């Protein structure tokens, strides 16, 4: 299950990153800045970000991946919504139960 999700994430990320590398428009730069700001806000709130992908597009943020504690799922969404410019959050994070280091 995790392998399939990681493969899907890699495909999504490559599709999102490759066009941005060729056409750095103001909106893609802003999306990248917004995603970075969300990652910073989440890290500052104590959410472990090592297995979290943050995708942003026109104010819409998607969080995908695993967090170590169940409470971090809601905390990540709250932190993302607190970032100026974020209009919505699609939270697809799941708690991993502490087994992140076992793979």
Question: What residue ranges define each of the domains in the chain, with the CATH number in brackets?
Answer: 2-102 (3.30.70)
For the CA atoms of 69, 74, 77, 79, the dihedral, rounded to the nearest 10 degrees, stands at -80
Half-sphere exposure of 7 (CA within 13 A, CB side): 4
Residues 64-96 have pLDDT tens digits of: 999 989 999 999 999 999 999 999 999 999 998
Residue 22, pLDDT score: 44
Whether residue 2 is predicted with pLDDT greater than 80 in this model: the reply is: no
Residue 28, pLDDT score: 72
44 within 8 A of 12, measured Cβ to Cβ: no
Claim: this prediction has a pTM higher than 0.75: no
Residue 25, pLDDT score: 52
The CA distance from 78 to 101, in Å, is 26
User: What Rg value do the Cα atoms of the chain yield, rounded?
Assistant: 14
- Of 44-48, 65-69, 95-99, the poorest mean pLDDT is in 95-99
């Amino acid at each position: 299950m995790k392998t399939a999700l990681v493969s899907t994430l890699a495909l999504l990320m490559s599709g999102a990153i490759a066009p941005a590398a060729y056409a750095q428009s103001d909106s893609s730069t802003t999306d990248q800045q917004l995603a970075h700001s969300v990652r910073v806000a989440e890290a500052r709130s104590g959410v472990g970000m090592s297995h979290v992908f943050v995708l942003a597009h026109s104010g819409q943020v998607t969080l995908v991946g695993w967090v170590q504690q169940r409470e971090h799922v809601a905390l990540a969404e709250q932190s993302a919504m607190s970032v100026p410019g974020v209009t919505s959050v699609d939270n697809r994070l799941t708690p991993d139960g502490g087994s992140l280091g076992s793979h």
